[in-house]
Amino acid sequence: MSFKITSKHQDIPDLKRKVLTSPVNFLAFGFGSGLAPFAPGTFGTLMAVPLYLLMQPLPLAFYLLLLVIISVVGIWLCDEASKSLGVHDHPGIVWDEFAGYFVSMIAAPDGWLWVVTGFALFRLFDIWKPLPISLLDKKVQGGLGIMLDDVLAGFYALVCLQLLALWI
């Protein structure tokens, strides 16, 4: 007796093939991290951590410029991947988690405490989706809609992280 594992939207082997054979899907799926069998957004954010550590030493102006490029490219990537898969905001599309985490870490203090705290805050706001994030998530479609809720969650996390840094 054999079982065929299927996701909510398509067969797992078919999804893996579409992700691993398309550069656009591979990037949108966070170098494959979005293929995690559960909590792909969390795994995508985990994949963003080492990338953040590479970006962290950059001067703030370059960090912000890179963040803008990542976000603008992300709108296109997420839109194309969504069209390719036939699913708006497929859970495995995690490029938006990269951008959101990078927003949360703007001018973050050095140290693992802040890397982990930024991670936790970003995941909290990305999952919770407080207003106006939840409204925009429902109303804005396409790549912009996919990216916007995570970038806003990143801003919420950024504010909290900076307030914590001032307090501690």
Q: Residue 5 falls within a domain, yes or no?
A: no
141 φ, ψ (degrees, to nearest 5): -105, 180
Judge contact between 93 and 81, C-beta under 8 A.
yes
pLDDT at 5: 38
Judge contact between 15 and 36, C-beta under 8 A.
no
pLDDT at 6: 40
pLDDT at 13: 83
Q: Residue 54 falls within a domain, yes or no?
A: yes
Q: What is the pTM of this model?
A: 0.92
Q: Residue 42 falls within a domain, yes or no?
A: yes
Q: For residue 12, is pLDDT > 80?
A: no
Name which of 77, 73, 70 is nearest 93 in CA terms: 77
Q: Residue 7 falls within a domain, yes or no?
A: no
* Overall average pLDDT of the 55-82 stretch: 98
Q: Residue 144 falls within a domain, yes or no?
A: yes
Domain membership of residue 144 as a residue range:
12-167
Judge contact between 36 and 47, C-beta under 8 A.
no
